[in-house]
Amino acid sequence: MRIKISFPLACLVGLMLSCQLLQAQYAHFVKQGVVAFEKRVNMYAKIKSRVGSNSFMEQAFEQYQRSNPQFKTFKYRLAFDGNRTRFWPLDDQATPSAGFFGNDPSVDLGNTIVADLFTGQRISQKSVYEQTYLITDSIRRIQWRITNETREIAGYQCRRANAVVLDSIYVVAFYTDQIPVSGGPESFAGLPGMILGVALPYENTTYFATSVEDRPVTAQELEVPKRGKAVNYGQLRAELEASLKNWGDYAQAILKAMLL
Q: pLDDT by residue (tens digit) across 186-212?
A: 999 999 999 999 999 999 999 999 999
Greater confidence, 165 or 15?
Answer: 165
**What's the pLDDT band for 101 if we cut at 50, 70, 90?**
low
**What's the pLDDT band for 128 if we cut at 50, 70, 90?**
confident
Is residue 160 within 8 Å of residue 147, measured between CB atoms?
A: yes
Q: pLDDT by residue (tens digit) across 138-182?
A: 999 999 999 999 999 999 999 999 999 999 999 999 999 999 999
Is residue 170 within 8 Å of residue 160, measured between CB atoms?
A: no
pLDDT at 8: 54
Query: Which range is least confidently modeled, 48-52, 80-84, 165-169?
Result: 48-52
| Mean pLDDT across 30-51 | 92
Detail the DSSP E strand segments found in the chain: 32-42, 71-81, 84-89, 112-116, 121-128, 131-138, 145-153, 156-165, 169-176, 194-200, 205-214, 229-231
Mean of the per-residue pLDDT values for the chain?
Answer: 86
What pTM value is reported for the model?
A: 0.85
SS (H, E, C) 85-116: EEEEECCCCCCCCCCCCCCCCCCCCCCEEEEE
pLDDT at 11: 47
Greater confidence, 51 or 33?
Answer: 33
Compute the distance between CA of residue 33 and CA of residue 234 in angstroms, rounded to an integer.
33
Compute the distance between CA of residue 166 and CA of residue 256 in angstroms, rounded to an integer.
8
Backbone angles phi, psi at 165, to 5 degrees: -120, 160
pLDDT at 86 over 70: yes
